Amino acid sequence: MPDRRQIPSIWRSRFDYFLIWGHGVKHADEIIARIASTESLRIVRIQYYRPPNLPRFVRAVYSHDYAPFHHLKAKTRYLLETEPLVLIVVVENECPGAQAVGTGAFRHFESPVIKVIKEDIRDRFNEKLADRRTENHVIHASDNEEQTDKLLKHIGLRTGIDLFLRRPNPVLDVVYHLQPFTEFKVQLVNADSLSCRILQGTPHQYDKLLLPIDQTPQTLFLKGHHDPYRSYLAKFTGWLLTDYYSLSNFADMAKRLDYQKMTSMGRYIVAERTEAGRLAVLDGVHRAAILNHRKVQSFPVVVVA
C-alpha cells in the first residue's frame, strides 16, 4: 500500500480536530453531539487538556494558522482570560474536500465540512452582544491534518495522528489504543463468564473494578436504568474514556447489532484472561452487554494471550 502521506488529503480521509476553549466547555455535550451528528465525521478521541501555561498553548495552537500574526494576537487576546481547560475532539473526516477561503494574506484552504460545523457552533454558543455574535470564539478547528498532528504532539501524544493509524492486530478491527498482539484465539464464550473493568472514583483518583457483565452500567442501561451509565459517561468522558460514547448511540446499537456480520469484518469482542482465570473484556463491552441482554447463550470472542 502506498504511504498515506503521499496521497493528497482531498482524495482520502484525514484527521481534524475541534478545540473547545475554557469558556465553551460548559456546552461540551451539545457541541460534541453537533459534531457527531455529521455523517462524514467519526469522532476518534475526546480529551480534556489543562495547559500548564495558557498563553504558550494559545501560541502553539495558532502558530500553524494562516492569518497574519498581528491579527492573531488581537484575535486571541480574549482567550487569555478564559479558564485554562480545553476539550479536544479529534475526528476522522471522511470527505475533507478543500475550499480556498479569504483573500490576500488571509487566503488558505480548509475543509468545507469543518467550516460549516465550526461556524454553526460559533453562531450558537459564542457570547452575544446586542443580539449579535461576538468574535470570542468558543471553538477552534484545524484547517489541515498537519495542524492536528502538531496539536496532538503538543499535548503529549508523542506519535501524533499515527496513533489513530496503528492497528494492534493486522487481522482484527479493534480500537487503536489496545496493546499490539500477534497471537489470539477465537473461542465460544458464555456471556456470564465475561467481566468488564469499570472505573470507580473520580477522574483524578480512580480504580478499575472487575464486574460481571450483567452488573455493568451498560447492562443496567439496557434494563432501563439510565442514570448509572449517564453519570459514568459524564464523569469519565474526556478524562479516562477517550472514545466517543453516547446514550442515544448505545440505544440505537442495541436495536440493530448484528454480531455475526461484525465478526465477518474482524470486529470481535476482545478479552484477556486475568490471573484469577476470568475473561476481562478489552474491547466490546457494549456489544457484550447487548448480547448478554438478548440472552445469547454463547458467542465467538477473541481471547488474547
Partner 1 sequence: MNYSNKLDLRLVFKLCASQEYAVVKCPQEFPNYYSGSDIDIFCGNIDAFTRALASSISTLLREGITLKVTSKPQQYHVDFVIDDKLDFRFDLYGALPSYDKVRLKPSLFYAVLDARQGNRIQAGADEYMFYTACARHELLLRYVEYLEWYERREDKIKHIDHILSHPENSRSEFIGLLHRYTELPACTTGKYGLFKRLTQYYSKNISFYYLRIRDKGMLGSIQALARRLGKRGRN
Q: Rule CB under 8 A: is residue 175 a binding residue for partner 1?
A: no
Q: Rule CB under 8 A: is residue 266 a binding residue for partner 1?
A: yes
CA angle 97, 101, 105 (to 5 degrees): 130
Q: Rule CB under 8 A: is residue 187 a binding residue for partner 1?
A: yes
User: In the numeric block, which cell numbers belong to residue 181?
Assistant: 498482539
Query: Which residues share a beta bridge with 281?
Result: 196, 271
Q: Where are the alpha helices (DSSP H) in 97-142?
A: 112-125
Show the site string, 85-104: x = touches partner 1 by CB under 8 A, - = not: --------------------
- Figure out which of the listed residues 63, 182, 231, 249 binds partner 1, where binding follows CB under 8 A: 182
**Number of residues this chain uses to bind partner 1 (CB under 8 A):** 17
Sheet (strand 139-141) strand order: 41-49, 86-93, 14-20, 139-141
CA–CA separation, 283 vs 270, rounded Å? 5
- Binding to partner 1 in span 286-305, by CB under 8 A: 300
- Binding to partner 1 in span 135-174, by CB under 8 A: 169-172
CB of 58 to partner 1, least distance (A): 43
Q: Rule CB under 8 A: is residue 186 a binding residue for partner 1?
A: yes
CB of 56 to partner 1, least distance (A): 42
Q: Which stretch binds partner 1 (CB under 8 A): 81-89, 176-184, 209-217, 243-251?
A: 176-184
CB of 258 to partner 1, least distance (A): 13
With contact defined as beta carbons under 8 Å apart, do 191 and 291 qualify? yes
**What single-letter amino acid sits at 280?**
A
Specify the DSSP element, H or E, that contains 128: strand 128-129
Euclidean distance between the first and the last CA atom of the chain, given in angstroms as a whole number: 29
The binding site for partner 1 (CB under 8 A) comprises: 169-172, 182-188, 260, 263-266, 300
